[in-house]
């Protein structure tokens, strides 16, 4: 199983970016899908999470600005980021909890995509 993330880049403060992450390989189903980020010198933190039933949760710092969504038919999770601030600068990682067997669930991580918010 692999997670492939894309969509990072350089954007000015107040701008928008759309991140996407697709799961591929052999698996039965996907439970939660989420986005984390890690800024230089800081610990990795949860940004947003979406369950298989499409319930969502967000870090307080991104509420009202970021939106997580899933396309279960495409095994893809998105993160729409609006009103970006310099403090959003980080490497963003997608994460998925995936069922690979009858009673086996594993956590997988994407490779990370850099988001830089700067003028």
Q: What is the pLDDT of residue 27?
A: 94
- When pLDDT is cut at 50, 70 and 90, the band that residue 113 belongs to is very high
**Residue-averaged pLDDT of the chain:** 96
Tens digit of each residue's pLDDT (9 = 90 or more) over 5-56: 999 999 999 999 999 999 999 999 999 999 999 999 999 999 999 999 879 9
Average pLDDT over residues 83-103: 96
Three-state DSSP class for 90?
A: strand
Check pLDDT > 90 for residue 102: no
Q: What is the pLDDT of residue 53?
A: 87
Q: Is the dihedral of CA 87, 55, 74, 103 positive or negative?
A: positive
To which residue do tokens 């995936």 refer? 98
Quote the DSSP letter at residue 83.
S
Q: What is the pLDDT of residue 69?
A: 96
């Amino acid at each position: 199983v692999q997670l492939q993330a894309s969509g990072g880049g350089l954007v000015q403060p107040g701008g928008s970016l759309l991140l996407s992450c697709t799961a591929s390989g052999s698996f039965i189903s996907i439970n939660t899908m989420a986005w984390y980020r890690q800024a230089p010198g800081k610990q990795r933190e949860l940004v947003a999470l979406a369950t298989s039933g499409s319930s969502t949760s967000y870090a307080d710092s991104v509420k009202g600005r970021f939106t997580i969504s899933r396309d279960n038919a495409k095994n893809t999770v998105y993160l729409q980021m609006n009103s970006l601030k310099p403090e959003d600068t980080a490497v963003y990682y997608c994460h998925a909890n995936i069922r690979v067997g009858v009673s086996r669930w594993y956590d997988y991580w994407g490779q990370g995509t850099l988001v830089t918010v700067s003028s």
